[in-house]
């Protein structure tokens, strides 16, 4: 628009002289800027000083920005709290700690699956372990032995004793509960079957040597040789057969117990020999203690009434102690690297 300063009037653009006074007109622009570079224009604008009142996304030469959205400038400074820069610094705590949290969870899973080993000596463990859970499982086992004339309760008792040994081999700190009666009965039935199989095998072996002696004749010089060989062979078979229980406790499987020479390998180990010696030691300690208690109770009227129930408790305790000891022996052998360790999450029952 053309403007006349003398007349203070606007004229059509392109007019050079004022029609009223004849003075020279000047061209005016509504979007004129001041010499200082300040602008009242709100849209995005870039000036020579780099200052702007624009709140939208912009890029300037100074590198400073009030933009809260994702922005990139030449200085590398930004008030953006969402996107991180290449320096690795950021305000997002979740992203920074996710790696550590994942590593911790993985570490926890690994620790949970690692084998457990006992930190108590075998005497302390074997005598105290059957008394776990306040002695309640021991009392239930004692009642089962009391009812053993019915045969079925005896299967449950055998099955529970096996699981006591299995828990010890697994590295548990407490005895199992009576919470799987079907499994206990099955385990007990398998143990009875193993006992009968061993007895039958040894009986056949003994009968074979007796028959050989009868054929040779008692007056023959070979009788002494046959007796010596037979005695040593029977003793060796009994010794190896005794290793069935601890190996069965450690493997939890009939197939694995009698495969790959595990039974013979454990029977010839120092761990099994240690267990056999301790069995005699424990038997001596328990029988001596039981005799003393029986004598003390027998001299009192009330004590005589306690002898019968204590007998069944003592029987259950002795069986559980023996299995706990064998479980400890197997756990000790695993700690020494001589046998495979039992998984802490492995089943207590036979498979």
Check pLDDT > 80 for residue 320: yes
Which pLDDT value is given to residue 2? Answer: 72
pLDDT tens per residue, range 85-107? 443 333 344 333 334 333 333 33
pLDDT tens per residue, range 7-18? 777 777 766 677
Which pLDDT value is given to residue 285? Answer: 96
User: Which among 139, 145, 142, 135 is positioned nearest to 175, based on CA atoms?
Assistant: 135
β-sheet bridge partners, residue 9: 4
Mean pLDDT confidence for 245-260? 94
Give burial (CB, 10 Å; 0-12/13-18/19+) of 242: middle
Within a 13 Å sphere around the CA of 41, how many CA atoms are in the beta-carbon half?
Answer: 14
Buried/exposed code over 337-348 (b: 16+ C-beta within 10 A; e: otherwise): eebebbeeeeeb
Which pLDDT value is given to residue 219? Answer: 64
Mean pLDDT confidence for 224-252? 92
Which pLDDT value is given to residue 169? Answer: 97
Coil vs helix vs strand at 236: helix
pLDDT tens per residue, range 94-151? 333 334 333 333 333 334 478 999 999 999 999 999 999 999 999 999 999 999 999 9
Lowest mean pLDDT among 36-40, 265-269, 292-296, 302-306: 36-40
Higher pLDDT, 84 or 223: 223
Give CA–CA dist 83/69, Å, rounded.
Answer: 9
Higher pLDDT, 297 or 286: 286
- 29 pLDDT band, cuts 50/70/90, is low
pTM of the predicted model as reported, rounded to 2 decimal places = 0.67
Helical H runs in the chain?
93-113, 122-128, 136-146, 152-170, 181-216, 222-241, 244-251, 254-257, 262-267, 270-298, 301-335
Check pLDDT > 60 for residue 72: no
- CA of residue 113 relative to chain centroid, distance: 4
DSSP 99: H
Contact at 8 Å (CB) between 108 and 96? no
Which pLDDT value is given to residue 224? Answer: 82
Average pLDDT, the chain: 78
């Amino acid at each position: 628009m053309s403007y006349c300063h003398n007349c203070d009037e606007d004229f059509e653009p392109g007019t050079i002289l004022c029609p009223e006074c004849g003075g020279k007109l000047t061209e005016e622009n509504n979007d004129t800027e001041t010499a200082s570079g300040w602008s009242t224009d709100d849209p995005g604008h870039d000036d020579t000083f780099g200052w702007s009142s624009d709140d939208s996304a912009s890029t300037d030469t100074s590198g400073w920005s009030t933009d809260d959205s994702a922005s990139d400038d030449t200085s590398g400074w930004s008030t953006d709290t969402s996107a991180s820069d290449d320096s690795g610094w950021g305000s997002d705590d979740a992203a920074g700690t996710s790696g550590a949290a994942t590593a911790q969870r993985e570490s926890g899973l690994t620790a949970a699956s690692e084998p457990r080993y006992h930190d108590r000596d075998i005497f302390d463990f074997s005598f105290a372990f059957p008394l776990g859970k306040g002695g309640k499982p021991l009392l239930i086992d004692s009642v089962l032995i009391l009812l053993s004339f019915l045969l079925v309760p005896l299967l449950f008792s055998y099955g529970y004793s096996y699981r006591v040994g299995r828990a010890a081999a697994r590295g548990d700190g407490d005895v199992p509960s009576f919470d799987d009666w079907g499994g206990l009965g099955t385990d007990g039935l398998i143990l009875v079957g193993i006992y009968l199989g061993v007895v039958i095998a040894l009986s056949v072996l003994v009968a074979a040597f007796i028959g050989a002696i009868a054929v040779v004749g008692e007056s023959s010089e070979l009788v002494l040789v046959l007796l010596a060989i037979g005695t040593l062979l029977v003793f060796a078979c009994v010794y190896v057969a005794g290793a069935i229980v601890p190996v069965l406790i450690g493997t939890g499987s009939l197939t694995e117990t009698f495969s790959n020479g595990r039974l013979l390998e454990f029977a010839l180990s120092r761990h099994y020999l240690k267990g056999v010696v301790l069995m005699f030691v424990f038997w001596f300690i328990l029988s001596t203690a039981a005799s003393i208690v029986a004598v003390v109770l027998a001299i009192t009227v009330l004590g005589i009434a306690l002898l019968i129930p204590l007998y069944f408790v003592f029987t259950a305790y002795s069986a559980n102690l023996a299995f706990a000891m064998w479980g400890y022996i197997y756990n000790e052998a695993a700690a020494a690297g001589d046998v495979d360790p039992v998984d802490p999450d492995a089943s207590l029952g036979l498979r």
